[in-house]
Amino acid sequence: MNPVVLRVSDLRKTYVDGDVETPVLKGINLEFHRGEFVSLMGPSGSGKSTLLSILGTLLRPTSGEVELVGNKLSTLDDGDVTRFRNLHIGFVFQFHHLLPDFTALENVLFPTLPRRVDDPRTERARAIELLRRVGLSDRMNFRATKLSGGQKQRVAVARALMNAPEIVFADEPTGNLDRDTGEEVLALMRELCVEHGTMFLISTHDEEIARRSDRTVRILDGRVVSS
Amino acid sequence: MPFELSVALRYIRSGRLQTVLIFSGVAVGIVVFTFMAALINGLAVSLTNNVIGNIAHVRLEPPPRLPRTLGGEGDVRALVAVQRGNEPRAEINGWRNFVRMVEEMPGVTASAASVSGSGFIQRGEKILPVSVTGYEPGKESAMIDLSAGIVRGTAALGPGDVLIGVIIAEQLGVTTGQRLRVRSDRGRERALLIKGIFDVRSASVNERLAFTDLATAQSLFDVAGAVSRIEIKLADIFSAPAVAERLAGMTGLQAVDWIRENARLQDALSAQGNTGDLVKFFSVLLIIIAVASQLLLSAVRRRGEIGIMRSMGVSRASVTWIFLCQGLFIGLFGSLLGAGLGYGFANFLARVTLRPDGTQGLPIDPALGEYGLAIGIATVASTLAAILPARVASRTDPVEVMTQ
C-alpha cells in the first residue's frame, strides 16, 4: 500500500447565516493514498463540493483535522496554506477555467509563477512535455479562447500537474464535455495518475467514472456511507 | 519581471477597446491639466512681464526726511504732520558706491542710478505734463527696454538729448531732430534735442515719460552730483522682497520692491492660479473616477480568473498588486500620452495665435505645462484609484468559482 497523502479526521462543516446553522459535513473520516484514483459521489447537496473545497484548502472546516502530505491544515496560517496549495495541490474544474488572455503554454506555466522558479527554462520544458503528453503540442501557443472544450480541459489537466502535486482534485471534470471527449479526458487523467503517482479525487455524478476508479467514496447528507 | 507585473500588462494589452478608452480618458485629463497649466502660467508670466517689464524690481530711494521736533524730555510725545511736497527734495549722495554695492550682489542683472521729477514739455503753444528721468549714459534701456521700442531715431542719449513716447510726439506734432523746451518743477528750463521716439506698448509710458541723460536731468532738477533713486533689475523677480530687505540693511536707504507696490497684481495672479488649480484638480478627479470604475469592472468581470488564480496558489497580496500595477501602468502611459498631446496642442495654439508683430494672441506658454507634475500626479492618482478594485479582486472567493 502506498503512503497516505491525505487523511481526514472527524471533519465537520457548519454554515452559519444569522441565527440559522446548517451542518453540511457531519464527521467525515477518510484516508487517501499516493497514486490512488478515487471517485467522490453523492447527490446534489450531500456535501461533495464543500468536502472538496476543504480538502483543497480553499475553505476552513468548522472542526476536525485535515492532514495533507504530512501537514496539519489547522497549524498553517492563510499565507502558508496559499503556498502549500501552490506546491502540493492541483485542480481541474468542470468549466476548465483557463485564463483566456494567456496561451495554452502560459496557462500550464501559470502555477509556477507565484513561487518564483529558479530555472524558467526547466519549467518551460516541463510544461511543453505535459502539453505533449495531453496531445496538444501543436496548440501550445494558441490562446485559451481558440481551443475546443476538450482541448481546454486537457490544458487544465496539464496545468493541474505542472507543479508535480501529490494531489489533484477534479470537480465534474467531464461534466461539460461530450461522451467521447469526456472518455478521452478521463483516460488521460487515469494514465497521468499512474505515471506521476498523483492521487486524483474526482467529484462526479457519473457512475462510469466510479466504475473506472480504484475506489469510490459515497457521501450522503454530510456523512460517508461507503469508501 | 515579477509575475504580477506581467499579468497586469497582459490584462491591459488584452483589454483592447477598453484599454484604448481608459488610456484616452487619462490622456484627455492630462491634456486639460497641461493646457490649463500652460495657459495660466503663460498668462501669469505675460501679465507679470507687462507690469514689471517697464519698472524696476527694486528701487533704492533716500529715506524720507522728517523735520526735527522740539520735543520735551522723558515721556513727552510729539505728533508731527508733514505736508507732502513741502519737504525738501531727498537725494542720494555718494550714489556710485551704492551702485557698486548693488552690482556686486548676486542675482542683480542690471542697475541704474537716475534722477527723476515732474515738469512740462513745450513746443510752440502746446504744453504737456511729463515725468522726466535721466539715466547714466548707456543705461537708458536698463529698466525699460527703450532700444527695442524705438520707432524713430536712436535710444543712445548724449548731453542735451531727450527720448519721448509716440503719444507725446503725436500730440506735439514733433519728430526726431527737432527741439523741445523742457521745464522742471524746480523752474529750470532746457531746450532738448529729440533723439528718439519710442513705443513700449504701454500708453502710460508712451504719453507720460521722457528720458534724458543723467547730467541733463541733474541740471533740470537742481541735484548736482546726486541722484534721486537707484533702480535694480533681478534675475528672479520673486526674490525682490528679500533683496530689498537686504539692500535696505546694507545701504540705510529705503528699498521698495515691485511686489509690495503691485499687491493687486499678486492677488489677480493668485486668483487666476487658484482657478487653474481647481480645473486641474477636477481633471485629476476624473482620471481617478475613470480608472477606478474601469478596474472595478475588470475585477468583477475577471472574478472567475481571479478565483482560479487563487486556487493555484496566488496570494491575495499578489492579486492586489496585479490591479495596482494596472492602475500604475494606465496612469503612467496614459499621462505620458496626454503630456505629449498636451504639449502638441499648446504648441499648436501658440503658433496659430501668434500675431504678425511676434506677440502672442493667446498668452499660452507650452514650456510651462507642468508635464512632469501632471505625469507624477496622474500616475500616483491612478495607482491609488486601483486600491478599491484591487481590494474587491483580492477578496474573490475561489470556492465560488469552483461551484459555478
- Among B284, B325, B319, residue whose Cα is nearest residue B302: B319
Is a pLDDT exceeding 80 seen at residue A123? yes
* Separation in Å, CA of B339 to nearest CA in chain A: 30
Is a pLDDT exceeding 80 seen at residue A96? no
Residue A92: pLDDT band with limits 50, 70, 90: confident
Chain B residue closest to A102 (CA)?
B10
The neighbouring-strand residues paired with B162 are B194, B212
Residue B404: pLDDT band with limits 50, 70, 90: low
Check: CB of residue B172 under 8 Å from CB of residue B123. Answer: yes
Instruction: Give yes or no for B403 touching A (CB within 8 A).
Output: yes
Residue B69: pLDDT band with limits 50, 70, 90: low
For chain A, the domain total comes to 1
Asked if residue A42 is part of any domain, the answer here is yes
B6 interaction partners in chain A (CB closer than 8 Å): 113
Is a pLDDT exceeding 80 seen at residue B379? yes
Average pLDDT, chain B: 87
Residue B71: pLDDT band with limits 50, 70, 90: low
Residue A178: pLDDT band with limits 50, 70, 90: confident
Instruction: Give yes or no for B145 touching A (CB within 8 A).
Output: no
* Separation in Å, CA of A19 to nearest CA in chain B: 23
Give the per-residue pLDDT at B376. Answer: 96
Mean pLDDT for B287-292 is 92
**Partner residue opposite A82 with nearest CB, options B304, B315, B402:** B315
Domain holding A188, by residue range, is 35-60+71-218
Check: CB of residue A144 under 8 Å from CB of residue A66. Answer: no
The burial of B387, by beta-carbon neighbours within 10 Å (0-12 exposed, 13-18 middle, 19 or more buried), is given as middle
Give the per-residue pLDDT at A128. Answer: 93
Give the per-residue pLDDT at B400. Answer: 78
Check: CB of residue A173 under 8 Å from CB of residue A134. Answer: no
Give the per-residue pLDDT at A44. Answer: 87
The reply to whether residue A111 touches residue B10, judged by beta carbons under 8 angstroms, is no
Instruction: Give yes or no for B313 touching A (CB within 8 A).
Output: yes
Give the per-residue pLDDT at B183. Answer: 93
At B342-366, the pLDDT tens digits run 999 999 998 998 888 777 788 899 9
Is a pLDDT exceeding 70 seen at residue B73? no
Give the per-residue pLDDT at B51. Answer: 75
The reply to whether residue A52 touches residue B305, judged by beta carbons under 8 angstroms, is no
Chain A residue closest to B5 (CA)?
A113
**Partner residue opposite B399 with nearest CB, options A58, A83, A101:** A58
The reply to whether residue B313 touches residue A79, judged by beta carbons under 8 angstroms, is no
The reply to whether residue B308 touches residue A49, judged by beta carbons under 8 angstroms, is no
Residue A193: alpha-carbon gap to chain centroid? 12
For CA atoms B303, B308, B311, B315, the dihedral sign is: negative
Chain B residue closest to A78 (CA)?
B315
Higher pLDDT: B84 or B268? It is B268
E strand or H helix at B380, and its extent?
helix B371-385
* Separation in Å, CA of A58 to nearest CA in chain B: 6
Q: Which of A76-80, B18-22, B69-73 has the lowest mean pLDDT?
A: B69-73
Is a pLDDT exceeding 90 seen at residue A114? no
Mean pLDDT for B215-224 is 89
The reply to whether residue A99 touches residue B403, judged by beta carbons under 8 angstroms, is no
* Separation in Å, CA of B363 to nearest CA in chain A: 48
Q: Which of A111-120, B146-155, B177-186 has the highest mean pLDDT?
A: B177-186
**Partner residue opposite B305 with nearest CB, options A85, A86, A99:** A99
Higher pLDDT: B85 or B277? It is B277
The reply to whether residue A93 touches residue B403, judged by beta carbons under 8 angstroms, is no
Asked if residue A12 is part of any domain, the answer here is no
Instruction: Give yes or no for B14 touching A (CB within 8 A).
Output: yes
- The residue type of B7 is V
Give the per-residue pLDDT at B330. Answer: 94
- Among B148, B119, B153, B150, residue whose Cα is nearest residue B133: B119
Q: Which of A96-110, A123-137, B28-42 has the highest mean pLDDT?
A: B28-42
**Partner residue opposite A113 with nearest CB, options B3, B401, B402:** B3
At B174-205, the pLDDT tens digits run 999 999 999 998 889 999 999 999 998 788 88
Residue B6: pLDDT band with limits 50, 70, 90: confident
The reply to whether residue A101 touches residue B11, judged by beta carbons under 8 angstroms, is yes
Q: What is the CATH number of the domain that holds A180?
A: 3.40.50.300
Give the per-residue pLDDT at B308. Answer: 87
Instruction: Give yes or no for B301 touching A (CB within 8 A).
Output: no
Higher pLDDT: A160 or A97? It is A160
Q: Which of A175-189, B10-24, B246-260 has the lowest mean pLDDT?
A: A175-189
Residue B222: pLDDT band with limits 50, 70, 90: confident
A-B C-beta contacts closer than 8 Å: 72
Mean pLDDT for B229-234 is 92
Average pLDDT, chain A: 88
Is a pLDDT exceeding 60 seen at residue B101? yes
- The residue type of B213 is D
Mean pLDDT for B124-144 is 86
* Separation in Å, CA of A156 to nearest CA in chain B: 11
A52 interaction partners in chain B (CB closer than 8 Å): 402
**ipTM rounded to 2 decimals:** 0.85
* Separation in Å, CA of B399 to nearest CA in chain A: 6
Mean pLDDT for A179-185 is 80
Residue indicated by cell numbers 497521468: A192
The reply to whether residue A49 touches residue B10, judged by beta carbons under 8 angstroms, is no
**Partner residue opposite B313 with nearest CB, options A86, A97, A102:** A86
Percentage of chain B with pLDDT > 90? 48
Is a pLDDT exceeding 70 seen at residue B89? no
Asked if residue A27 is part of any domain, the answer here is no
Domain boundaries, chain B: 3-51+265-399, 95-227
The reply to whether residue B313 touches residue A110, judged by beta carbons under 8 angstroms, is no
Q: What is the DSSP letter of B119?
A: E
Give the per-residue pLDDT at B401. Answer: 67
The reply to whether residue B402 touches residue A85, judged by beta carbons under 8 angstroms, is no
Q: Which of A184-193, B19-28, B229-238, B290-299 has the lowest mean pLDDT?
A: A184-193
Q: What is the DSSP letter of B368?
A: G
